[in-house]
Every structure is written in C-alpha cells, then in structure tokens.
Amino acid sequence: MEDDDRVQMRLELISEPVSDIDRAKEFYVQRAGFDADHDQAVSDEIRFVQLTPPGSAASIAIGKGLSNMEPGSVEGLQLVVSDIEAARASVAGRGVDVSEVQDFSWGRFVFFADPDGYRWAVQQIVSDDLSDRRPR
C-alpha cells in the first residue's frame, strides 16, 4: 500500500481507570477544566464517562467495567497548549496543585496529577521564532 492510500486514523479516546468515578469526574471537569461529554450507566456493572480537554479531538474515558487496568497505571499523558502561562493560571485558579513553568529546549511545561496519581504534562511547543507558539 502506498503512503497516499493509507486509511486515515485518529486517536480519540484513552481509557483511564480510576478508583472513584465521581471524584475523578469532579477533578477533571471542575478543576482541570475538561468538558463532560457523556456519563452513561449502561448497567450496574458498566458506567462510561467521557471527558475532553477544551479544544481537543481526543478524550479520556473513566468509569466502571471499562478496563482491567489498575487506577493510576496509565503514563505519559500530555496536553499541548499555545500559552503555558495561561494554562497554568487556569488550572491553578481552580485549585489544582500545578508546578511552576519549566523551560526546556523542546518546550515549556507544567505538571499536575489527578487524585489517582495520573501525572499530566502540559506543553507549549516553542520554536526558534518565539512568536510562533501555536500547538502543533
């Protein structure tokens, strides 16, 4: 199959097992600023909650009966923003314990964790042209 014939695929949902669904939903919606897209109890054994960071095509799924993974077991979660200072102020203003901005040659970062210990990195990509600080 030639490169031009490849089927386009988008990663849109990451399962994030949590120990307390309502506590996690409250954290992501009220404190981290995610949108609550769905909250559906399919049965007594299955509840599906989909949460999306503002502006993102990808979401996280929390709930009951969705995965056999342990809460806090997913690593490498990262958000990309155009303004790291504004992103930090936004989550800190909602009571999230977020790091100070850290500058690296590959980007500017802040870090925070949810109640189950999922560590999130928030990155502003920087280029040689400092006026170009858009997410890529």
pLDDT in tens, 42-51: 999 999 999 9
Sequence-distant (6+) residues with CB within 8 A of 124 are: 80, 81, 82, 83, 84, 87, 107, 108, 109, 133, 135
> Where do you find CATH 3.10.180.10 in the chain?
10-68, 75-136
If one compares 107 and 136, the residue with the highest pLDDT of the two is 107
Q: CA–CA separation, 23 vs 29, rounded Å?
A: 10
The arrangement of secondary structure in 10-68, i.e. its CATH architecture, is Roll (3.10)
Mean pLDDT confidence for 26-44: 97
Q: Is the pLDDT of residue 1 over 80?
A: no
Task: Pick one of 3.20.20.70, 3.40.50.1390, 3.10.180.10, 3.20.20.80 as the CATH number of 75-136.
Answer: 3.10.180.10
Share of the chain above pLDDT 70, in %: 91
Count of other CB atoms within 10 angstroms of residue 108: 20
